[in-house]
Amino acid sequence: MSSGPVHVELLPGPPADWQPGPGEPRLPRPTEPRLAPRSAYVVQRFVKPNWLNRRVGALVERLPLARRAFTVAERKSKEDLFGCRMCGQCALPVTGYSCPMGCPKELRNGPCGGVGPGGACEVYPDRRCVWVVGYERAASRGHADDLRRLQRPVDHRRFGESSWLNYWAGRDDHLWTDNDGLASPPVMGDHQ
């Protein structure tokens, strides 16, 4: 039996010398996308599943070296352009091309309650919330309704995989809903 409460000292963050272990993703930090919204939505037309992408994906997956090279190229390009963390289940097409995995809380369905004035992130106040950035980017291209889609939970077993190959192979079908089902939001206090 314990004789009393245990004192635990909480650190304000990880120790200064902390580094992620091998295969462990880096800590999430909000990242401002580098690719303009217009360009991102143009790229989307080319990476959407179609007969050519499915065939290329199937060929790449049959060749382990090609798969590794393809995944490295995807990681590098998406990390540089969007702050991608390679979750293997990309939500960029429905989040204004602002990666939700850059949210320090890894929220996939909108901002937390701590968004500051001007859209500041609660955890990193010197950065803008990825969801505020996503909304602004999506709205600027007429895609604000995309953010009404509900994201399913991340399957952490897919971290490090190519989301494009998963997308083309249909392994991440149903990652999000068609919409949130709230075309007519319920009236507060209406308990039918």
Indicate the domain borders of the chain.
37-168
Q: Which residues contact 113 (CB under 8 A, 6 or more apart)?
A: none
Length of the chain: 192
Task: List all residues 6 or more positions away from 94 whose beta carbon is below 8 Å from its beta carbon.
Answer: 146, 147, 149, 151, 176
pLDDT at residue number 99: 93
List pLDDT tens digits, range 14-39: 667 766 666 566 678 888 999 999 99
pLDDT of residue 192: 47
Looking at the predicted structure, is the pLDDT value of residue 188 above 60? no
Which 3 state secondary structure label does DSSP give 176? Answer: strand
How far, in whole angstroms, is CA 72 from its chain's centroid?
A: 18
Which of 58-72, 80-94, 102-116, 158-172 is the most confident on average? 58-72
pLDDT of residue 27: 76
User: Mean per-residue pLDDT for 80-93?
Assistant: 90
Closest listed residue to residue 165, CA positions, set 34, 96, 84, 66 = 66
Which pLDDT does position 33 carry in this prediction? 93
